[in-house]
Amino acid sequence: MDIQLEKKKGLKLKHYGYIALGILLLFVGYKLIFASSMSTFRTEKDRLSISSVTEGKFDDYITINGNVAPIATIYMDAYEGGRVSEKLIEEGSMVKKGDIILKLENMALYEQILASESNLALKQNDLRSTKLTFDSRQVEGRKSLATAQYDVQRLKRAYEQNEELYKEELVSKETYLKSKEDYQLAEKQLEIVKLQTEQDDELRKTSLKGLDTDLERMQKTLSMVYERLDHLNVRAPADGQLGFLDAEIGQNISQGQRIGQINVLTDFKIEADIDEHYIDRVKRDLSATLERNGNEYKLRLRKVYPEVRNGRFRVDLVFVDEKPETIRAGQSYNIRLQLGESNDAILLPKGGFFQSTGGQWVFVVGPDGNEAIKRNVRLGKQNSRYYEVLEGLQPGEQVITSNYDSFGDAERIVLK
């Protein structure tokens, strides 16, 4: 009798194939469902810039473009108004301090000088006349004083003689008393003459002092008017180059009007505009480097201007040691401004995507290279070549770095 064997329960080889097929179908279905839920944009891969995320040293610097300018510019404003009568030096010429650049003429100023000279002459004549009057009164006063002193001495002697004679009863009492009264009157008159003389001397001193002060003040005023006359000659305020001159012969120049500038060429500075994105990091005394004909020249950031115009702010840099021999005002240079120390970081090459996303998200290309998915990221510092990646990307991943404006609100990019 035959014995029936029971079949062993378990998975056979073909069962594994069914399971794998099921998982594959499930994965494909999931991807189809997930992909269909995202807005998609299709484009050709060759039309995009795709960059790899790397790991390396992040150099914390920015590249800026600057223009060479004189180390200082001195503006020339007209001290006095007038009509340009002569132009002695042209724009671009080298000048020395004190060189006459323009000559002006001002008839009103000439008339004012003549009036001041006339007033001074009148004041001088008044002073002379007053001095002569006081000198004459002083002489008369001294004569009166001398006469009074003489009368006192003479009447005193007569009084003393009559007093002795009266004691001996050789003269009458009336004669004695009269000589005594004459002497006493002469003494009183002497005191009056002395007092008048002292008052005249004091008045003379006070009056002459006031007149001298007035005369000195008028002389200073006339001297200042003469200085104004000299200001009709517009002179160079310093050694340098006459940068521009806004004046022509026959032109009327107003007082205080800007007519030119002197560029001081003893040294140079570089003026540069920087994006306001860096305004909190750009400080005085930062170091910078300029490369010219294979040589590097060190610079120092000397001044940061506070105004922001059109999204940019201005800085001035000066050379630390040497400068290019052929440097000229107006030349343009690319400068590497160091903002901080180098450090290890994940690096994402710069591209137009930043203008579209502000660095908040990027499209990361998948491993198969056929699609890119939107992903949030966090970027840190940037230089002329890279962004510093703080979160969201790993070395080896690929990112679309070209501009995203044409993608609209797509969250998935299909690459053909």
Residue 326 burial class via C-beta count within 10 angstroms: exposed 0-12, middle 13-18, buried 19 and up: exposed
In this prediction, residues 27-42 reach a mean pLDDT of 62
> Are 313 and 382 members of one domain?
no
When the pLDDT of each residue in the chain is averaged and rounded to a whole number, the result is 85
Q: Which positions ≥6 away from 239 have C-beta within 8 Å? A: 95, 96, 97, 264, 266
Mind giving me the DSSP string for 99-165?
A: -EEEEEE-HHHHHHHHHHHHHHHHHHHHHHHHHHHHHHHHHHHHHHHHHHHHHHHHHHHHHHHHHHH
Token pair 């002073």 is at which residue?
127
> Are 370 and 325 members of one domain?
no
In this prediction, residues 186-207 reach a mean pLDDT of 86
Q: Is 96 part of a structural domain of the chain? A: no
Percent of the chain with pLDDT over 70: 91
Which of 285, 306, 338 marks a domain boundary? Answer: 338
- Residue 20: predicted pLDDT: 63
How many whole angstroms separate alpha carbon 260 and alpha carbon 76?
A: 5
Token pair 């690929």 is at which residue?
398
For the record, the structure tokens of 24 come out as 């594959």
Q: Are 384 and 92 in contact (CB under 8 A)?
A: no
Q: Is 130 part of a structural domain of the chain? A: yes
Q: Which tens digits make up the pLDDT trace of 48-100? A: 999 999 999 888 888 899 999 888 888 999 888 899 999 999 888 899 999 99
Q: Which of 110-114, 252-256, 300-304, 392-396 has the lowest mean pLDDT?
A: 110-114
How many whole angstroms separate alpha carbon 260 and alpha carbon 248?
A: 12
- Residue 292 pLDDT class (50, 70, 90 cuts): confident
Q: Is 358 part of a structural domain of the chain? A: yes
Q: Which of 11-20, 211-220, 283-292 has the lowest mean pLDDT?
A: 11-20
- Residue 18 pLDDT class (50, 70, 90 cuts): low
For the chain, the distance separating the N- and C-terminal CA atoms, rounded to the nearest angstrom, is 71
Which phi and psi (to 5°) does residue 189 adopt?
A: -65, -35
> Are 349 and 311 members of one domain?
no
- Residue 394 pLDDT class (50, 70, 90 cuts): very high
Residue 129 has pLDDT above 90, yes or no: no
| Positive or negative: CA dihedral 124, 125, 126, 131 | positive
> Are 128 and 212 members of one domain?
yes
Number of domains in the chain: 3
- Residue 35: predicted pLDDT: 47
Q: Which positions ≥6 away from 170 have C-beta within 8 Å? A: none
Q: Which positions ≥6 away from 117 have C-beta within 8 Å? A: 222
Q: Which tens digits make up the pLDDT trace of 145-154? A: 888 899 889 9
Range of the domain at 360: 37-58+343-415
- Residue 51: predicted pLDDT: 93
Q: Is 89 part of a structural domain of the chain? A: no
> Are 134 and 216 members of one domain?
yes
- Residue 15 pLDDT class (50, 70, 90 cuts): low
- Residue 31: predicted pLDDT: 53
In this prediction, residues 108-130 reach a mean pLDDT of 80
Within 13 A of 24's CA, how many CA atoms are on the CB side? 6
> Are 114 and 217 members of one domain?
yes
- Residue 273: predicted pLDDT: 93
> Are 215 and 118 members of one domain?
yes
Which of 295, 323, 338 marks a domain boundary? Answer: 338
In this prediction, residues 111-131 reach a mean pLDDT of 80
> Are 305 and 350 members of one domain?
no
- Residue 8 pLDDT class (50, 70, 90 cuts): very low
Residue 5 has pLDDT above 80, yes or no: no
Q: Is 240 part of a structural domain of the chain? A: no
In this prediction, residues 2-29 reach a mean pLDDT of 56
Mind giving me the DSSP string for 366-384?
A: PTTSSEEEEEE-EEEEE-S
Q: Letter for the amino acid at 167?
A: K
Residue 225 has pLDDT above 80, yes or no: no
How many whole angstroms separate alpha carbon 302 and alpha carbon 320?
A: 10
Q: Which tens digits make up the pLDDT trace of 316-330? A: 999 998 888 888 888
pLDDT: which is higher, 129 or 3: 129
- Residue 347 pLDDT class (50, 70, 90 cuts): very high
Which of 192, 222, 252 marks a domain boundary? Answer: 222
- Residue 135: predicted pLDDT: 81
